[in-house]
Structure 1
Amino acid sequence: MKTSFIWIGALVVGAVLGWLGLEWLDASMNFVATVYTRLFQLLAVPTIVLAVITTFSTFGSKGSGRIFGHTLTYTLLTTLAAASIGAVLYVLIAPGKLPLDSLVNATLTSDLAPQTSYIDHVVSIIPNNIVRPFIDGNVLSLLLLAFAIGFGLSKLPESENKTTVVRGLIGLQELLFLLIRGLIRTLPLGIVAFSAQLSAQVSTGVVADSIGKYVLVVLGGNVIQFFVVLPLFLLARGLNPIHVLSKMMPAVLMALFTKSSAATLPVTMDTAEKRLGVRQNISRFVLPICTTINMNGCAAFILVTSLFVMQQGGTPLTLSTILMWIIISVVSAIGNAGVPMGCFFLTLSLMSGIGAPVAVLGIILPIYTIIDMIETAENVWSDSCVAAMVDHDI
């Protein structure tokens, strides 16, 4: 509880500093926020890899297959629910077409244009170099490598060499968590900087460029998923959603400001184990997987934004079209990396692939920072719910 009050206090202080509009102060806060984001990203990649390897090295024992089955089931159900809510809200609120001059004036700079098709994106996940995924920070490629190494270790016959390798990996993991806990102790300073960043963006009019009903659909869907659907999942499993959210609040707040569920993973795992009481073998198995494939907010964004962009291009939004894009959005979200603006670039690639007017995304871009923050917080909240439910079930 004391930690939550400190974090909330840091949030308020940062908001006030951002509203002051002092250029030197904004620059300082941007510097601090960037440092914290880079440090968590630095720790996130080895956290994911080591957690998956050490957990899958025991696959076939301690119920690992059952844990994975429950994790995948809850991930698909929550992600499908998020996309479906977005579709229902889109039909009910019915965003109209943008004025023609808005479409003409909206442009995306060349560095935002997708360089590859979605098929190429999927193929790029398959690593052809064991070092490259670490250099690029390609989470999905790293997961494939980690799965392969973990399963390989689980199939090796028991021997002194195997024991030495596993103990070495576990030792590295313990060292990593020691560094993470040290960084978390200084995190109130980072929260002040992240909050100041957001406050400065709002005060300079970033949010003022909203496009009404579209934003209402996106944010409305996130709010319903966050406060209604996910708590209902918890209640169905006999868990108190208020208790779970209060315990996981540090991770949710961290996700809100970093806009990266992958960068937040060290905090999510530490919070789940230390505050919520999720067993270590569950937390370190479920959360790295969820960080990569459990993208509730991303699925809703892809679905709603794709429908909106296609509508501007004159595509009739029939029931069959909407249902097809619900499936596409769920599959795409599962294949998306948990990094800032990941959903935006993925949607851009999908729309470019079907010849939709991607210039519409140039209108959405100025407010995407706010959308991305809320989506990421929802993603981490969903990850936390899945971990709590799996821990309860197993």
Structure 2
Amino acid sequence: MSRVSKISTGTMISTAALLGITCGFMDVPVVNTIATTLGDLFIRLLKLVSTPIIFFSVLSTLTGMGNLQEAGILGGRVFRYTLMTTLIAASIALSLFLLLDPANHVQGLDIANSVVENQQTGYLKYLVDIIPTSFIEPFAQGQVISVLFLAVILSLAILTVPVERRTRLQQLFEDLFAAIMKLTAGILKLLPIAVWAFVTTFLHEITEESIVTNLALYFLSILLANLVQALVVLPLLLSWKGLSPVKTFKGMFPALSVAFFAKSSSAALPVAMEAARSQLGVSERIARFSFPLCTTINMNACAGFILITVLFVSSLNGMSFSPVEMFSWIFIATIAAIGNAGVPMGCFLLASTLLATMNVPLALMGVILPVYALIDMLESAINVWSDACVTCIVDKETESSPVVSRQQA
């Protein structure tokens, strides 16, 4: 039933995109007005759930790591390699974005002229006012960095409270996050309508030849960033730790296939744990601990997609970034990816959320969406591949540290 639903949704989105192209070139005033209105309504709904998604996803993830002692040993190892590989993925993405320059020779789209002036100062405020003056302010004003900051420091504080209180709080945050995701799932059912609205508005505002090359370079940037991470960075990390990349890949191939076709690293979790134990000899304790944690926080491909997409869409909408601002997006994309849920379209939703809270029009996201289905498949497989690499490395390090192994047992 779910497979039929997915195929049906994909068909509806593709059909909506085609209708949007037709309506955009027809340039009927009434249709353009309807499309603009529907697009604005969808953006409002997205903003409604944007900051709660980021806040509760990060909070439920970090508070679920156990106490500080556990996080400092086994959890610390998993988190260290997760953070390292995700930072590398975001750095590669930024390098390719600067090298290929998919937003080159574009002065800014007409649909964003009313937003750009305000956002230049708004983005600088992001960098200056990371620490908010009140707890409510970041949510009311859509300050993503401040929301992330609050989630991290609150998580660290919760990890120090007595275990019974910490358990209740962690369960509360997980339940709230699940409720927000249910609401988000309902909003995402409106995607075909939103895609039609975005594509219609987009083609009404710009000429086709001014964007086709930019979109091609954008997709090439994401593809290369993913391939470099999967085929170069992660195998080198395995080799550095004395593990065989080829053997690891062969052992994890069933899980990678599930992730690719299901477009979800969470869906591949049971297969990944079994493959690691039976094919690669990873201890059951490490597999049961590392894979669920990695599935939640280890999103290499997502970090690259978020960074390139946010910079690309923002630049095409007239925003400019200083070198320092671009560099800061390595860390923003990394933190956002760590808080992402391993579900279909999770990266797309997070990128849209960041753009929405920055007041950047989302018309381009509607154009990107029909192709994102293929990107999502590749990203899900790469995320599981990274999970397997981190788990195998942690397992080997734990084996070589019998004292730590006995403590955790």
TM-score tier after normalising by the smaller chain length: 0.5 to 0.7
Aligned identity (percent) is 40
Q: Match for 2:270: what amino acid? A: P
**Which residue of structure 2 lines up, in the alignment, with residue 93 of structure 1?**
100
When residues 237 and 355 of structure 1 are mapped into structure 2, their CA distance, relative to the original with a 3 A threshold, is same
Q: Match for 1:30: what amino acid? A: V
CA contact (8 A) 2:264 2:342 kept: yes
Q: CA offset at residue 132 of structure 1?
A: 3.7
CA contact (8 A) 2:103 2:214 kept: no
- TM-score, normalising length: structure 2: 0.58
Deviation by residue 1:244-266 (Cα, 9 ceiling, x = unmatched): 00100001111001111112111
Does residue 69 (structure 1) correspond to residue 76 (structure 2)? The answer is yes
Deviation by residue 1:63-117 (Cα, 9 ceiling, x = unmatched): 884221211110001000100000000111111369899976xxxxxxxxxx995
**Which residue of structure 1 lines up, in the alignment, with residue 227 of structure 2?**
223
**Which residue of structure 2 lines up, in the alignment, with residue 273 of structure 1?**
277
Q: CA offset at residue 268 of structure 1?
A: 0.9
SS in 2 for 1:261: coil
When residues 360 and 135 of structure 1 are mapped into structure 2, their CA distance, relative to the original with a 3 A threshold, is closer
Does residue 259 (structure 1) correspond to residue 263 (structure 2)? The answer is yes
Deviation by residue 1:347-370 (Cα, 9 ceiling, x = unmatched): 111111112222111111110101
Deviation by residue 1:227-256 (Cα, 9 ceiling, x = unmatched): 000001101101110110010000111100
Does residue 30 (structure 1) correspond to residue 8 (structure 2)? The answer is no
Which residue of the other structure, out of 72, 81, 85, is the alignment partner of 1:78?
Answer: 85
Deviation by residue 1:47-70 (Cα, 9 ceiling, x = unmatched): xx9xx99x969x96xx88422121
Which residue of the other structure, out of 228, 248, 252, is the alignment partner of 1:248?
Answer: 252
**Which residue of structure 2 lines up, in the alignment, with residue 282 of structure 1?**
286
Match runs of 1:1-394 below 5 Å: 30=4, 65-96=72-103, 117=142, 118=144, 129=172, 132=175, 136=179, 211-394=215-398
CA contact (8 A) 1:255 1:380 kept: yes
Q: CA offset at residue 134 of structure 1?
A: 9.1
Q: Which structure 2 residue ranges, 5 or more long, are not aligned?
A: 9-59, 112-139, 156-168, 183-211, 399-409
Q: CA offset at residue 30 of structure 1?
A: 3.1
**Which residue of structure 2 lines up, in the alignment, with residue 186 of structure 1?**
none
When residues 318 and 280 of structure 1 are mapped into structure 2, their CA distance, relative to the original with a 3 A threshold, is same
CA contact (8 A) 1:292 1:335 kept: yes
Q: Which moved more, 1:125-134 or 1:209-218?
A: 125-134
**Which residue of structure 1 lines up, in the alignment, with residue 403 of structure 2?**
none
Aligned CA RMSD, in angstroms, stands at 3.8
Q: Match for 2:386: what amino acid? A: S
When residues 129 and 290 of structure 1 are mapped into structure 2, their CA distance, relative to the original with a 3 A threshold, is closer
CA contact (8 A) 2:265 2:384 kept: yes
Q: CA offset at residue 120 of structure 1?
A: 7.2
Q: Which moved more, 1:219-228 or 1:266-275?
A: 266-275
Q: Match for 1:252: what amino acid? A: L
CA contact (8 A) 2:291 2:388 kept: yes
Q: Which structure 1 residue ranges, 5 or more long, are not aligned?
A: 1-26, 35-48, 105-114, 140-207
CA contact (8 A) 1:287 1:387 kept: yes
- TM-score, normalising length: structure 1: 0.60
CA contact (8 A) 2:108 2:318 kept: no
Deviation by residue 1:117-169 (Cα, 9 ceiling, x = unmatched): 5577987x976848945964969xxxxxxxxxxxxxxxxxxxxxxxxxxxxxx
Aligned-partner Cα distance in 2 for 1:217–1:130: 36
CA contact (8 A) 1:300 1:329 kept: yes
CA contact (8 A) 2:265 2:343 kept: yes
When residues 260 and 137 of structure 1 are mapped into structure 2, their CA distance, relative to the original with a 3 A threshold, is farther
SS in 2 for 1:321: helix
Q: Match for 1:289: what amino acid? A: L
When residues 324 and 221 of structure 1 are mapped into structure 2, their CA distance, relative to the original with a 3 A threshold, is same
Q: Which moved more, 1:378-387 or 1:314-323?
A: 314-323
When residues 275 and 349 of structure 1 are mapped into structure 2, their CA distance, relative to the original with a 3 A threshold, is same
Aligned-partner Cα distance in 1 for 2:349–2:2: 28
Aligned-partner Cα distance in 2 for 1:255–1:359: 29
SS in 1 for 2:340: coil
**Which residue of structure 2 lines up, in the alignment, with residue 198 of structure 1?**
none
Q: Match for 1:244: what amino acid? A: T
Aligned-partner Cα distance in 2 for 1:324–1:28: 39
CA contact (8 A) 1:116 1:349 kept: no
CA contact (8 A) 2:344 2:376 kept: yes
Q: CA offset at residue 270 of structure 1?
A: 1.1
When residues 213 and 135 of structure 1 are mapped into structure 2, their CA distance, relative to the original with a 3 A threshold, is closer
